[in-house]
Amino acid sequence: MLKIDTDIEVRYYETDQMGVVHHSNYIRYFETARTLSMKKAGIPYDNMENQGIVMPIVAVSCAYKRPALFGDTIRVTTILEKLPTVKIDFKYEVRNGEGVLLATGSTVLAFANKETLRPMRAPQYLLDILAPHFVLPC
């Protein structure tokens, strides 16, 4: 399993008049955390795109538990529970500075050829980078 944390400061424009984060912004938080997590893991999106691979989102979900507020610094934990095949499944946990769970979510992305947009298997170099995180101890 791979878990990577990303801290994000809640900005004023992401909130309503009560200072509560609008629900749509959690999807943006997931994307920010996912792209930064991939980069931290050694798999920057731009490298994949330069190699002719894109990753369109095919499913997204979010369950809201408690509100994030203007001025909060939230921690989004991006979780990969299994190696990808033609799709990659990310899970997310969003917590405030006190560690209170605010939301959970998931995204499923497919691997596709940039020119044809036809599905493809996860590239071998990506599997090679991720595999050590999924080896079970003896």
Cα–Cα distance for residue pair 26/103, rounded to 1 Å: 8
Tell me if residue 72 is catalytic: no
Tell me which residue has tokens 């400061």.
Answer: 9
Cα–Cα distance for residue pair 91/106, rounded to 1 Å: 4
Residue tagged active-site, from 7, 16, 46, 89: 16
Count of positions (residues) in the chain? 138
H or E element in which residue 135 lies: none
Active site residues: 16
